[in-house]
Structures are given as C-alpha cells and as structure tokens.
Amino acid sequence: MQPNTVEFDELENPGNPVFSSPFNVASVFIDRHIHSGAESNIALKYDAGDISYGELFEKVNQSGNALLEQGLKAGERLLMVVVDSPEFFYAFWGAIKAGIIPIPINTMLRADDYKFYIEDCECRGVIYSPQQAREVENALSMSATPPRIALQTTGPGSLSAIMASCASDLEAAPASAEAECFWLYSSGSTGNPKGVVHVHRDMVITSTCFGQGIAGIEPTDIVYSASKLFFSYGFGGGMTFPLWAGAATVINSGKTTAGISFDFIEKYKPTVFFGVPTLYAQQLVLAETRTPDMTSIRRAVSAGEALPAHVYRQVKETFGFSILDGLGSTEALHIFVSNQIDDINPGTSGRVVPGYEVKILDDEGNEVAPGEIGTLWVRGRSTALFYWKNPEKTAATMKGGWLNTGDMYFLNEDGCYVNSGRGDDMLKVGGMWCSPIEIEAKLIEHPLVREVAVVGKRDDANLIKPAAYVVLANKDADETQTTLELSDFCKKNLAGYKYPRWFHYVDEIPKTVTGKIQRFKLR
C-alpha cells in the first residue's frame, strides 16, 4: 500500500478497512481530493465566499507550518476555542498534518470553564476566535499552567496573519491508524468534562459507516449541520462526512435558531441536513407563521437526544422529508444505531449501523431479553482510546473493546432499539450534555438559594430541559420575582442552553441517609 492510504474490501465489514503504515488521516481527508483532480470543487460554503478543495489544501498546509513555526511540536496539544469558520478547518487539519493534537471545545463557556480545560489537557498552545477573546484571555491570566502559545484566529498577529507568510506545502507527519490524533471533551456525571482521546482511524470509520453508509453523502451534495463542530454530532455532519465524500459543507459561525436554519437552507440549498430534535420542534412552531423553502433537502438526520415520534411525523407532513434518527456518543465519535432511509421506525433509534456491534446488559453484566431495559454497550473501531487522566472511568466504561454508553435501552418486537433515558443524572439539552451538578453549583452561589436540585423535565414538544427545585433562604421571598432573578443569574453565568426553564419552590430536597440528592423522586 502507498503511505497514507486506506483500502476497503466491499465484501468485508465496512468498519474494518485496512490502513497503510505510515498513516496520517489528514492525507485522506484533505490531500486525497487534490490527487484525484477535485481541487476546483467547493469544500466550504461561507458568507464571505466559497472555498475550494484546492484552497483548503493550501490553507491547511499553511496552518500546519504556522503552528510549527510558533514552536509547537509533534505530539503536543493545541486547545481550540474556535467558532465554526474556515479557520476551524485550517487549524484542526493543519495541526493533525503537522503531528500536533487538536482539541476543539465548546465555544459557549466562561473563563472558569476554559481555565479547567487549559489546565486539564496540559496544552502547549491555544487558539481562539475573537468572539471568545475576553473569556479565554481571562482564563489564561488565571491559569497556573498557561500554554506557551496563545493566538487569535484572525486579526493582527493572529494565526491567519502568520499563515500568510508560510509555505503552502507540508509533508504529513508520520503517524499510524492507531496513534493518538485528536481529542473531544465529554461531560461526566460529576460535572467535570473528560478528555476523550481518539486516534487517526476513527474519523475514517464513522465517515464510512454512517456518513457514507447511512446518510449516503455523495460528492455532489451540499451538507448543512445546525450542530456546532466542537460537538461530536456536528463534528461529523458538518466536517468529516462531507470532507470524506468530497462534498460541500455550509458554515454558520453564529448561533442557530429555527429562523436562522430556515435562512441558511433557503440561501445555500443543502441536500443533506443535520439537526437535533429541539431544533426540528422549533422549526415546526415557526412554520406556523413562515413557509420556508425546504425542497432542496433529500436527507435529514437527527441525534443528540431521542426524536419523539410525533415530531418526526409532523416534520414529514410539514416539510416533506424523512428524518433518520440515531444514537451516537463522543466516545464512539458518531452514530452507531440509526434508522435508515428504507427502514424508518418513528420513536426508536433504529438498528445497528453496519460496522458496529451492540448489546444490552443488566447490572450483573448479562444480556437482557428483548423488551427488557438495560444499559447499552457498543463495539466498533471508532471508539476512543481512553479518558485522559481518568483510569478509573476508562476501566469502568471501556472493557474488552466494548464501550458502556450509559444509555438505557430495550429491543422492541420489531428489532429496533428504544431509548429509555440515562443510567445517571446527566441531561441532553438541545442535543448537548448538561450536568445538573454544574447548574446546582452555580445556583447555590446566589444568596436567595439555600438548597437546590436540578432534574430533566419534558417541555411541550416532549424534549428534555432543566428544571430546578429550590429551597429558599428566605421563605417569604416573592417567587415570581425570585424566578426572574435566578433565571437571569443562570443565563449570565452558564452556557446558554443550561439555564433552568422552570423553578419550583419546595420546603426540602429529598435525600438519602448519606445526604445524596434523590433526583428520581423529583423526576
């Protein structure tokens, strides 16, 4: 085999390709399109103009050279607080091609959060969008172990400015399919994010098994993901899947609302759309007063949280397309159980994606019978190597090649997997993990709050949102005014999707004899 190539046997498992040695994954996602003569094809569709695969190739090379010139070395880590933009692509793939390990993280956090990430991942460099400058720079000033290099993505002295004087060719750093390549962060039940370490082969596996095999993305497609690139679902739908296929991907650097998603769909005419249940529900509400042109969409995907059957049916009736709902995780990198275009079962996560294996186990580790609820485990070649600096969690979650998803499921009479919630107290809000402990810790800082517990509650669209149960420090406080004050406090001090949608005032929080909150009683 030629270096930096991958081969597939159509008769074999699609999740089991053969990788060359050496193998640097940037070569097959970026360089391959130049070697195949597709350099003039559009890779990125952006408000400032389209970017071809040829331009992307040169910018990735310049970015890798710029990072090396700034003193980053192969094997060192680069923290990315970068909004969805061409610069995200340049920095991520340039780092990988140079042998540097990129770590894209949530761009909607606060300085204290970024301080944790900087210190936890022990990065030697951080790059950030100008929009995040205040929070990131505050985090850098507070950090006990600041990185050597800190650059904004654009502006004077930025990564982009340095790239302008760098060479546009770069030889891929030697690596292997099983070598550490990039990280994503996944929240845990304690509220502390966990570094999820992925290797070079993982993006190839998900792009082949789901992006190509289930979503059916082709070179002629225009792909639009409403989910952001730092989130594993958006990472695949908005970047790796279209790049693997040689398709075009639409970039939105701002927030996503139902109205904005309609605007982007009407402007760019995407053929494949990645959304989350919350957004689909919001689109249905807006469609009562606005009639968007959604006719370009030939395939839509949903994940991040379970898609209610009635939302699926209403979308089909209102917009005319079907949604492929599925289950994935940061640790598995993307979707491994999914509905398929010729096999859609509303209200379920569908069937196992070819290339993966799934089993449902009880608390003793025995497989349960169909119809019985247990914990869903998955095995496939895209699952993470380990959790950074967390051997206990690694040992408990990753066993013999199997990954404990923490999701409770059962197999119905049609052979489809049905979501039954989480095995811990974590919430999925707008498709993103949300720790009740984090919200509680912030609320308890407010002088009006004596005790608090946060649980998930279903809204009118049957989607999960945080609800807070509060014991007030002053029981005579006006509850309406208190709700306004606490809601505003959370919105100012937490990521936007984490604030409680409901506040309930109670005399006490139910607890075990050892003092642990019994959230199931509140639910």
Q: What does the alpha-carbon distance between residue 119 and residue 219 come to, in Å, rounded to a whole number?
A: 41
Q: What is the pLDDT of residue 190?
A: 46
226 vs 463, higher pLDDT? 226
Q: Order of strands, edge to edge, in the sheet holding 386-387?
A: 180-186, 194-199, 386-387
Q: Do 160 and 217 fall within a single domain?
A: no
Please check whether residue 264 lies inside any domain of the structure: yes
Banded model confidence at residue 438, pLDDT cuts 50, 70, 90: confident
Q: Do 122 and 236 fall within a single domain?
A: no
Side chain identity, residue 88: F
Spatial contact of 424 and 448, defined as CB atoms under 8 Å apart: no
Tell me the pLDDT tens digit for each residue of 62-116.
Answer: 999 999 999 999 999 999 999 999 999 999 999 999 999 999 999 999 999 999 9
Please check whether residue 19 lies inside any domain of the structure: no
Tokens of 303: 């994940």
Tell me the pLDDT tens digit for each residue of 400-410.
Answer: 999 999 888 98
Please check whether residue 2 lies inside any domain of the structure: no
Backbone angles phi and psi of 360, in degrees to 5: -115, 125
Tell me the pLDDT tens digit for each residue of 388-397.
Answer: 999 999 999 9
Tracing tokens 């999960």 back to the chain, one arrives at 464
Q: What is the pLDDT of residue 223?
A: 98
Please check whether residue 347 lies inside any domain of the structure: yes
Q: What is the pLDDT of residue 513?
A: 44
Q: What is the mean pLDDT of the chain?
A: 93
Banded model confidence at residue 151, pLDDT cuts 50, 70, 90: very high
State yes or no: pLDDT of 441 exceeds 90. Answer: no
Q: Do 400 and 257 fall within a single domain?
A: yes
Q: What does the alpha-carbon distance between residue 268 and residue 287 come to, in Å, rounded to a whole number?
A: 19
Among residues 394, 409, 312, 424, which one has the least CA distance to residue 351?
409
Please check whether residue 302 lies inside any domain of the structure: yes
Question: What single string gives the DSSP state of each residue in 361-418?
Answer: E-TTSPBPPTT--EEEEEE-TTS-SEETT-HHHHHHHEETTEEEEEEEEEE-TTS-EE
Beta-strand relationship, 125-128 and 77-81:
parallel
Tracing tokens 């952001």 back to the chain, one arrives at 228
Banded model confidence at residue 496, pLDDT cuts 50, 70, 90: confident
CATH of the domain at 110: 3.40.50.980
CATH of the domain at 506: 3.30.300.30
Please check whether residue 179 lies inside any domain of the structure: no
Q: What is the pLDDT of residue 323?
A: 98
Q: What does the alpha-carbon distance between residue 229 and residue 129 come to, in Å, rounded to a whole number?
A: 14
State yes or no: pLDDT of 210 exceeds 70. Answer: yes
- The model carries a pTM of 0.85
Q: What does the alpha-carbon distance between residue 213 and residue 338 come to, in Å, rounded to a whole number?
A: 11
Please give the tally of structural domains in the chain. Answer: 3
Residue 279 DSSP SS3: helix
Q: Do 329 and 218 fall within a single domain?
A: yes
Spatial contact of 45 and 251, defined as CB atoms under 8 Å apart: yes
Q: What is the pLDDT of residue 194?
A: 94
> Which of 158-172, 183-197, 305-319, 340-354 comes out lowest in average pLDDT?
183-197
Q: Do 215 and 299 fall within a single domain?
A: yes
Tell me the pLDDT tens digit for each residue of 241-257.
Answer: 999 999 999 999 999 99
What residues make up the domain containing 466?
A: 435-522
Q: Do 235 and 332 fall within a single domain?
A: yes
Q: Do 286 and 418 fall within a single domain?
A: yes
Domain end position, chosen among 122, 153, 174: 174
Q: Do 343 and 309 fall within a single domain?
A: yes
Q: Do 415 and 494 fall within a single domain?
A: no
Residue 419 DSSP SS3: strand
Q: What does the alpha-carbon distance between residue 115 and residue 110 come to, in Å, rounded to a whole number?
A: 9
How many helices and strands in the chain, by DSSP H and E?
17, 28
Q: What does the alpha-carbon distance between residue 298 and residue 306 come to, in Å, rounded to a whole number?
A: 21
Tokens of 371: 């119809």
Tracing tokens 């399109």 back to the chain, one arrives at 33
Spatial contact of 404 and 374, defined as CB atoms under 8 Å apart: no
Residue 453 DSSP SS3: strand
Q: What is the pLDDT of residue 439?
A: 87
Domain end position, chosen among 399, 422, 445: 422
Q: What is the pLDDT of residue 189?
A: 43
Q: Do 85 and 116 fall within a single domain?
A: yes
Beta-strand relationship, 398-399 and 386-387:
unpaired
Indicate if the alpha-carbon torsion angle 398, 106, 74, 172 is positive or negative.
positive
Banded model confidence at residue 433, pLDDT cuts 50, 70, 90: low
Q: What is the pLDDT of residue 146?
A: 95
State yes or no: pLDDT of 511 exceeds 80. Answer: no
Query: Region 298-315: what's the mean pLDDT?
Result: 90
State yes or no: pLDDT of 512 exceeds 70. Answer: no
Domain end position, chosen among 174, 196, 221: 174
Q: What is the pLDDT of residue 343?
A: 97
Q: By percentage, how much of the chain surpasses pLDDT 90? A: 78
Query: Region 275-303: what's the mean pLDDT?
Result: 94
Spatial contact of 215 and 301, defined as CB atoms under 8 Å apart: yes
Banded model confidence at residue 516, pLDDT cuts 50, 70, 90: low
Q: Do 398 and 259 fall within a single domain?
A: yes
Beta-strand relationship, 248-250 and 42-45:
parallel
CATH of the domain at 373: 3.40.50.12780
Please check whether residue 87 lies inside any domain of the structure: yes
Tell me the pLDDT tens digit for each residue of 448-495.
Answer: 998 888 999 988 888 889 999 999 989 889 999 999 999 999 999 988
Q: Do 82 and 126 fall within a single domain?
A: yes
Tell me the pLDDT tens digit for each residue of 166-197.
Answer: 999 999 999 999 999 999 998 644 457 899 99
Please check whether residue 82 lies inside any domain of the structure: yes
